[in-house]
Structure 1
Amino acid sequence: DPPLAVENLFGATGLAVSPDGAHVYAVGQFDDTIAGFTRDGVDGSITFLFSLSDGETQGPDTVDGLDGAESVVVSPDGAHVYVASFTDSAVALFARDGNPASPTFGTLDYVTVYKDSSLGGTVADLLGASSITLSADGGHVYVAATTDDAVAIFARDTVPASPTYGQLTPVAGPVDSIGGVDGLDGAQWVRVTPDGVHVYVASGVDKAIAVFARNASTGALTWVQAIKDGVDGANGLDGASSVDVSIDGSSVYATGPNEDAVAVYSRDDANGMLTFVEMEVDGTNGVDGLDGATGVVSSFDGRYVYVNGYLDDSVAVFARDLETGELSYMERERNNFGTVTGLARPVEIAVSGDDQHLYVAGNNEDAIVVFMRDALAPTLPLSLVSTSHTVGVFSNDPTVDMLWSGAADNPGGSGLAGYSFLFDATPLTALDQTIDLLHTVDPHGTTSAPLPDGTSYYFHFRVCDLVGNCSATVHLGPYWIDATDPVNPGAIVSTTHTVDTPDPDTAITMTWIPATDALSGVDGYSVGFDAIPATACDETKELEEGATTTTSAALA
């Protein structure tokens, strides 16, 4: 979609999609603002709903904590929104109207602010708040504090009936170089693993990912290790600016803007330690769109990873190996290329929970750019039939012909790539995503290799699109094949005439022992009387299968 530009979104930075998928929230670091948008769950488009600015009066309250707003997150229960602001060194708390029946559904009410103690607040180690996230259980909030080289921790009241529901209580957090902690110098981005066991922090000055074990009860963090660029095989972390964890928790991804790279690390889910796997670098092996790589996020189905190229004005798309976590470059979407606009200096990407849409903050264009991801499988053909065989009926043709037309990709999708299919003797074979026939112009068809006689041949079929979505496999059959001639009748003799012996009887009677067939059975007999020694009978059936005798017409 075209970018959405609205008032009070100057310097768009952080983005978040509500868990119910109904709203998108964005912050503008230069307007000191949070804006809310209603989201169309079908096409992903967003419509401006409201904005709140630092210092604005809302009822009896004055909104505070939005000066230099950089990051926003919605609580897992959808009840609250939290904003981390760099200049204010603060976390601003808002209550969200989560009632779909409410006329103010999705709007926010300012609740309170938590500021660093150096700026008149009561929270330690929050100076330069730049990235905010919540644990999946909603119990704790974590903030990367760039200036303090720290992670600020808050316990969140998760009891809806509580008068302090959603409010935060500070918990002592780690600070670089204190108590053996390392890897937090210039902390910029923080994420909690989906299982809630570990926390990872990307730190630009240290060129590192700091690893912490999380206490699920208190939210407290215990330092585990620091993965630093160029140390013990680690790579891709120069200027580390963002970090993300795959939905299965097995992979950690980080951006290194000074290397124009996204780095891949495998995660030990027991202790949280990371091992370098590989990195994708702008301009290497066809990779594009990673110049100044800034933000990284993985899809909820674990199949894709998206990376902002800040200096490339691009979003790069990678397919993710579900076993190894390794990335394969697919494409890049660049500002002012094709129909894409609004991507000047992209900062953060938010993915909708249904994986259908990506929202990108274009910092220099004060915009939110909406992309549709093709995550839907194409539909099966309207017609898919065998033109040579009927299910459950014998044919003497050893090759099965199939013909189909009318397959379609979802509207706005990537388009059809082709068809995966297989002939075999198993009723429910599962197909992979290998394309056996490219999609061109309908109708499409295929013919099996010659198949041995049998009664259990099936055709398995699915449709795939250009990004690897495939329909469910359909199974047609069984197709029966009997290409072997019957065993000829035995003891074919005349009961009226003797070979080479004249006989006055002008009608000849023949008898035989019935023919046999192992598969389809004998259907009947083709017979003929004439004066030619080696006439071949055609396939016209003159007698039924039970016949054992026939008599000619009168012969001259």
Structure 2
Amino acid sequence: MKKYLGITAALIFNQAASADEARLLNQQPVVAEQTFLVGSWTGEAQGPRVQKAFYPSQGIYTVKLSADGSMMPIAVTPAQSPSWLTVDAAHQRVYIVSEVDEGKVSAYHLERNGELTLLNTVDSSGMHPTHSALSRDGRYLLVANYSATDGRSGVSAIPVQSNGHLGKTQQFFPYNQGSNKVAGRQSSGHAHSVTFSIDGHYLLAADLGADKIHVYQYDPKRKDPFTLLADDTINFPAGDGPRHSTFSADGKFLYVTTEMSAQVKVFSFTQGKTELLQAEKLTDSTKDNDKSGAGLALSPDGDFLYVGNRGDKNQIVTFKVDKATGKLSQSKAYSAGGIEPRDFSFDASGRYLFVANVYSNNVVEFARDLKTGELSPTGVTLQIGTPTHIRFVTLGK
């Protein structure tokens, strides 16, 4: 771990650079001081929408959120494309996937000052891992490997040892067959995310290439703890591309984003079985370039659902949640303040939302109205090369 030296000022332009920004900052909610981590793609990103980073990312960034809403990087951990971060329940271990050809997964100890100490690194058993999740008992890290070259797309179940270190892959579920609906996207399977049910008994793995979510039962007493429940597979219309999912706090409802069709779908969930309740568009546009569903998150109070739509729209779309039925209403779209809003996260109070815009190299802060769910840009922005994921952590005393 190394701390910022002379590049700190260049990486941040949120420190009251103008009178207008200072005025906006003074109007923001006051919250408890917090810390969050930012994952990233390292190196130079390519593509027509990519803005050249002033400083390409070096790895994982530790950022302090002050009571007034200002942000300051306090440390950086060098790592190769740590695109997704998973934190254990005690906030002592951080597990990162390196989204590279020969996928890697690393375990870190989270120090009291926000620095990260490497414990060990293991093979993800696949290519370009994009997502991970810990079992509720903390015994297994599940990893979604995206790329299907040489049969290496699929889900890996990696044991977590008592000291936080990772073991070798215990189970691997290959995703080779795609739906072939969207050319160049679905010629094979593509594992994109893994999500545990609230009770911890079920694992849901989104296969963007096959238009399916595979459901597994988890029983830690078995030699092979994850068992595919083929009859409970969630099938999506060809070309939807299921990407990410999240559960309501009571575990009764499942929310899923679809990447190519740019929708959010609501399902009931009971002991691994689902029923479609609702499908909502993220945009009314019929242009393919306007449709690219991304991450999603429920507000801490569960009253609103926030969903990213990338492409040419680059928006965060909000929905009001009926907690009794799980259904969504009152949608409204907000500019993400950058290009390619891949992921976002709330602070502990729910008064702030932070968006990682990959191609514009910025983490943008929004103030959130707790009653209406509305978002307002604060003018506070952190410059980090190709940020991909944001995860709040609690530091030890």
Q: Above 0.5 in TM-score?
A: yes
Deviation of 1:303 after TM superposition, in Å, equals: 2.9
Q: What is the RMSD of the two structures over their aligned residues, measured on CA atoms?
A: 2.7
Given that 1:277 and 1:326 are in contact with CA atoms closer than 8 Å, whether structure 2 keeps it comes out as no
Deviation of 1:185 after TM superposition, in Å, equals: 0.6
Could you list the per-position Cα deviations for residues 286-337 of structure 1 after superposition, in whole angstroms to 9, with x for gaps in the alignment?
xx3x3221112233443332211112211112232222222232344433xx
**Counterparts of 1:305 and 1:28 in 2: how far apart (Å)?**
25
Say if 1:142 and 1:297 are closer, same or farther in 2 by CA, change over 3 A. Answer: farther
Higher strand share: 2
Deviation of 1:138 after TM superposition, in Å, equals: 0.9
**Counterparts of 2:229 and 2:349 in 1: how far apart (Å)?**
33
Which residue of 256, 261, 275 corresponds with 2:329?
275
Deviation of 1:20 after TM superposition, in Å, equals: 1.2
Say if 1:112 and 1:334 are closer, same or farther in 2 by CA, change over 3 A. Answer: same
Counterpart of 2:269 in structure 1 is 214
**Counterparts of 2:365 and 2:224 in 1: how far apart (Å)?**
39
Given that 2:82 and 2:96 are in contact with CA atoms closer than 8 Å, whether structure 1 keeps it comes out as yes
Aligned AA (1:86): Y
Counterpart of 1:256 in structure 2 is 309
Given that 2:75 and 2:114 are in contact with CA atoms closer than 8 Å, whether structure 1 keeps it comes out as no
Given that 2:319 and 2:329 are in contact with CA atoms closer than 8 Å, whether structure 1 keeps it comes out as yes
Within 5 A, what are the aligned runs for 1:319-338?
319-335=367-383
Which residue of 252, 259, 262 corresponds with 1:197?
252
Deviation of 1:110 after TM superposition, in Å, equals: 2.7
Counterpart of 1:35 in structure 2 is 106
Deviation of 1:240 after TM superposition, in Å, equals: 1.3
Deviation of 1:278 after TM superposition, in Å, equals: 2.6
Instruction: Indicate the structure (1 or 2) with the bigger Cα radius of gyration.
Output: 1
Given that 1:149 and 1:187 are in contact with CA atoms closer than 8 Å, whether structure 2 keeps it comes out as yes
Aligned AA (1:136): I
Counterpart of 1:297 in structure 2 is 345
Within 5 A, what are the aligned runs for 1:287-366?
288=337, 290-335=338-383, 343-352=384-393, 354=394
Deviation of 1:149 after TM superposition, in Å, equals: 1.7
**Counterparts of 2:172 and 2:279 in 1: how far apart (Å)?**
31
Q: 1:51 and 2:113 equivalent?
A: no
Number of residue pairs matched by the alignment: 305
Counterpart of 1:22 in structure 2 is 92
For structure 1, the residue ranges without an aligned partner over 5 or more in a row are: 55-63, 99-103, 120-125, 179-183, 283-287, 336-342, 358-375, 377-556
Q: 1:246 and 2:299 equivalent?
A: yes
Counterpart of 2:38 in structure 1 is none
Counterpart of 2:8 in structure 1 is none
Deviation of 1:255 after TM superposition, in Å, equals: 0.8
Deviation of 1:109 after TM superposition, in Å, equals: 4.2
TM-score, normalised relative to structure 1 = 0.51
Given that 2:207 and 2:242 are in contact with CA atoms closer than 8 Å, whether structure 1 keeps it comes out as yes
Could you list the per-position Cα deviations for residues 67-87 of structure 1 after superposition, in whole angstroms to 9, with x for gaps in the alignment?
221101112222211001112
Could you list the per-position Cα deviations for residues 354-378 of structure 1 after superposition, in whole angstroms to 9, with x for gaps in the alignment?
3x69xxxxxxxxxxxxxxxxxx9xx
Say if 1:230 and 1:111 are closer, same or farther in 2 by CA, change over 3 A. Answer: closer
Given that 1:19 and 1:74 are in contact with CA atoms closer than 8 Å, whether structure 2 keeps it comes out as no
Aligned AA (1:228): K
Counterpart of 2:146 in structure 1 is 86
Deviation of 1:147 after TM superposition, in Å, equals: 0.9
**Counterparts of 1:188 and 1:166 in 2: how far apart (Å)?**
24
**Counterparts of 1:240 and 1:163 in 2: how far apart (Å)?**
36
Counterpart of 1:474 in structure 2 is none
**Counterparts of 1:86 and 1:263 in 2: how far apart (Å)?**
25
Within 5 A, what are the aligned runs for 1:422-461?
none
1:188 is paired with a residue whose SS is: strand
Given that 1:193 and 1:199 are in contact with CA atoms closer than 8 Å, whether structure 2 keeps it comes out as yes
Q: Which runs of 4+ in 1 moved over 4 A?
A: none
Point out which structure has higher relative CO (alpha carbons under 8 A, 6+ apart): 2
Could you list the per-position Cα deviations for residues 408-439 of structure 1 after superposition, in whole angstroms to 9, with x for gaps in the alignment?
xxxxxxxxxxxxxxxxxxxxxxxxxxxxxxxx
| Percent identity of paired positions between Structure 1 and Structure 2 | 20
Deviation of 1:231 after TM superposition, in Å, equals: 4.5
Say if 1:223 and 1:20 are closer, same or farther in 2 by CA, change over 3 A. Answer: same
Counterpart of 1:147 in structure 2 is 209
Q: 1:95 and 2:143 equivalent?
A: no
2:127 is paired with a residue whose SS is: coil
**Counterparts of 1:20 and 1:165 in 2: how far apart (Å)?**
26
TM-score, normalised relative to structure 2 = 0.70
Say if 1:196 and 1:168 are closer, same or farther in 2 by CA, change over 3 A. Answer: same
Which residue of 225, 233, 256 corresponds with 2:278?
225
Given that 1:195 and 1:249 are in contact with CA atoms closer than 8 Å, whether structure 2 keeps it comes out as no
Could you list the per-position Cα deviations for residues 98-144 of structure 1 after superposition, in whole angstroms to 9, with x for gaps in the alignment?
4xxxxx4343343111123649xxxxxx9201111112221111122
